């Protein structure tokens, strides 16, 4: 959310509010809490719908909204209700703190004789954050505010080609919203402009495959002009996967067999076969401590390393190989090397086998 402020240089080329407003006049969604064209919005209904729409989609909200306004047609009626009555009418909509805040807010507003008409006054009420305050201020009180929820943020990221991922783009989004709101046509109809943005995000500038061909802002959209719509919003930076280390041992006997063991049935690679080895841990293994865990005393030769990426971590493994006359398969089983192809070896172990065999 932002109140209207002057637009900084990179956001100077805002698409024209008139194009969005004209499109909104022709295509606006008919929603039960919306005032019809030319009507004045009822702050109680705007507030009730905005609280319900926090974390819940329009389709799910409509029946709840209708039950609430039918049971509590005014804020005074809602304020006078028992909290339990409010909570039971809310049941199924989830995030029940919203219902408790709704009721607390209704009591404050009813006692004060009405809603405050400024963003700051609205923000001081229970359950009303920055976005909701801006939405109510714009829609119910025609205050110059541009509410930025997830849908509006997506539109801003595209029309201004904001290269920063949304979670880190607070400043850029505020500047973009300010640039849009600074347009005289937006300032003249802030409620319709906000609702036009909501409708554009819901129906045209959708998260995937936006309908740019039907978009009133196509000509002013930086992402569209550069044919880079799919790049915005910028993807979240990938979390760096933690790195783990391990050592595995290729131990062959004089009959062309190799020692394997079975992994525990539960957990990562559960029930699969593997070359015996050390645990996988955050610190690299020293050779001596790793060889202390080898399946036999032998003349171990380092063969090389393997890198493998799992969903939640990356693994580097060192492979050591040795041959002995006979193996006592105390904690595993012996498999002819010729049968390895068909064994239940996960890819990471196949890589280890390949390294060991290449070195042999
Ligand atoms: Fe969104 Fe496409 Fe319109 Fe740009 S042109 S605002 S990407 S729908």
Q: For 142-168, write each residue's pLDDT tens digit.
A: 999 999 999 999 999 999 999 999 999
pLDDT at position 4 over 90: no
pLDDT at position 231 over 70: yes
**Mean pLDDT to the nearest integer, 336-355:** 92
Average pLDDT, the chain: 93
Task: Assess whether the C-beta atom of 154 lies below 6 angstroms from ligand 1.
Answer: no
Catalytic residues: 50
**Residue 112 pLDDT:** 98
Ligand 1 atom with least separation from CA of 217: 3
Confidence class of residue 3 from pLDDT cuts 50, 70 and 90?
A: very low
pLDDT at position 344 over 90: no
If we measure between CA atoms, which residue out of 47, 48, 94 comes closest to residue 70?
A: 48
Task: Assess whether the C-beta atom of 218 lies below 6 angstroms from ligand 1.
Answer: yes
pLDDT at position 5 over 60: no
Ligand 1 atom with least separation from CA of 211: 8
* H or E stretch covering 308: strand 301-309
Q: Which residues pair with 146 in a beta bridge?
A: 2
Q: Does the bond joining 233 to the residue before it have cis omega, within 30 degrees of 0?
A: yes
pLDDT at position 270 over 90: no
Ligand 1 atom with least separation from CA of 15: 6
Q: Which residues neighbour 184 within 8 Å (Cβ) at sequence distance 6 or greater?
A: 17
**Residue 10 pLDDT:** 65
Q: Which two tokens stand for residue 123?
A: 């923000």
**Residue 96 pLDDT:** 81
Residue whose CB lies within 8 A of the most ligand 1 atoms, among 202, 212, 228, 234, for a mutation test: 212
Distance from the alpha carbon of residue 278 to the mean position of ligand 1, in angstroms: 53
Q: Are the C-beta atoms of 4 and 188 separated by less than 8 Å?
A: no
* H or E stretch covering 202: helix 190-203
């Amino acid at each position: 959310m932002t109140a209207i402020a002057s637009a900084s240089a990179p956001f100077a080329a805002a698409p024209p509010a008139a194009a969005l407003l004209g499109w909104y006049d022709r295509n606006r969604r008919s929603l039960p809490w919306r005032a019809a064209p030319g009507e004045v919005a009822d702050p109680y209904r705007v507030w009730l719908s905005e609280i319900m729409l926090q974390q819940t989609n329009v389709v799910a909200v409509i029946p709840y909204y209708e039950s609430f306004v039918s049971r509590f047609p005014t804020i005074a009626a809602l304020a006078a209700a028992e909290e339990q009555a409010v909570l039971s009418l809310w049941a199924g909509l989830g995030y029940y703190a919203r219902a408790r805040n709704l009721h607390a807010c209704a009591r404050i507003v009813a006692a004060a004789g009405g809603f405050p008409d400024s963003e700051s006054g609205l923000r001081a009420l229970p359950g009303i954050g920055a976005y909701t305050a801006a939405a109510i201020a714009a829609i119910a009180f025609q205050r110059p505010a541009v509410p930025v929820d997830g849908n509006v943020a997506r539109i801003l990221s595209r029309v201004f080609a904001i290269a920063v991922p949304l979670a880190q783009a607070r400043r850029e989004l505020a500047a973009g919203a300010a640039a849009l709101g600074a347009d005289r046509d937006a300032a003249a109809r802030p409620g319709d402009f906000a609702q036009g943005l909501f409708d554009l995000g819901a129906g045209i500038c959708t998260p995937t495959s936006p309908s740019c061909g039907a978009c009133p802002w196509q000509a002013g959209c930086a992402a569209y002009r550069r044919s880079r719509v799919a790049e915005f919003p910028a993807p979240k930076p990938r979390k760096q996967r933690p790195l783990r280390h391990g050592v595995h041992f290729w131990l062959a006997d004089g009959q062309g067999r190799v020692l394997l063991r079975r992994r525990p049935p539960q957990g990562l690679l559960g029930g699969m076969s593997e070359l015996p080895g050390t645990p996988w841990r955050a610190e690299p293994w020293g050779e001596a401590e790793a060889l202390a865990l080898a399946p036999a005393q032998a003349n171990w030769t380092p063969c090389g390393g393997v890198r493998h990426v799992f969903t939640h971590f990356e693994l580097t493994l060192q492979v050591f190989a040795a041959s002995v006359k006979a193996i006592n398969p105390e904690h595993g089983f012996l498999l002819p090397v010729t049968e390895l192809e068909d064994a239940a070896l996960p890819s990471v172990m196949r890589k280890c086998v390949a390294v060991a065999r290449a070195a042999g």
